[in-house]
Amino acid sequence: MKENECRPDELLPAYLSLWQNRRIEQKDFTPRQILQELVRRELLDENAHPRARKSLYEKFYLSVKRVIDSNLSAREQTAIIAIYVMEFERIQRDK
């Protein structure tokens, strides 16, 4: 890990501070796995009613904008956005 990178156990609380009422279960999962799953669910809009869901691209834009507009440090923002990009690409690849 590079000196200026955030650890997953630091990023999870930072991510959760952006999204109120997100339930997580930490059984047998690392903070990184939990964060990746939360981001994947966000991008797939699984927290919304099926008829109100937005496209993957729209959710990506809105999520990244929310991170950028937050009070998180630039380091935390960059790390969280990198996870969004990674999960976005994984979803695209797995379609």
Mean pLDDT of 55-78: 96
pLDDT at 3 over 70: no
Structure tokens at 12: 């999870």
Overall domain count for the chain: 1
> CA 30, CA 94: separation in Å to the nearest integer?
22
Q: Evaluate whether residue 82 is within a structural domain.
A: yes
Q: Evaluate whether residue 36 is within a structural domain.
A: yes
Using one digit for the tens of pLDDT, what is the confidence trace for 15-51? 999 987 777 776 788 888 999 999 999 999 998 888 9
Q: Evaluate whether residue 25 is within a structural domain.
A: no
pLDDT at 55 over 70: yes
Percent of the chain with pLDDT over 70: 95
Q: How much is the mean pLDDT over the chain?
A: 89
Residue 8 pLDDT: 75
Q: Evaluate whether residue 23 is within a structural domain.
A: no
Domain enclosing residue 38, as ranges: 30-94
40 Cβ neighbours under 8 A, 6+ residues apart: 87, 90, 91
Q: Which long-range contacts (CB under 8 A, 24 or more apart) does 56-64 make?
A: 56/88, 56/91, 56/92, 60/84, 60/88, 63/39
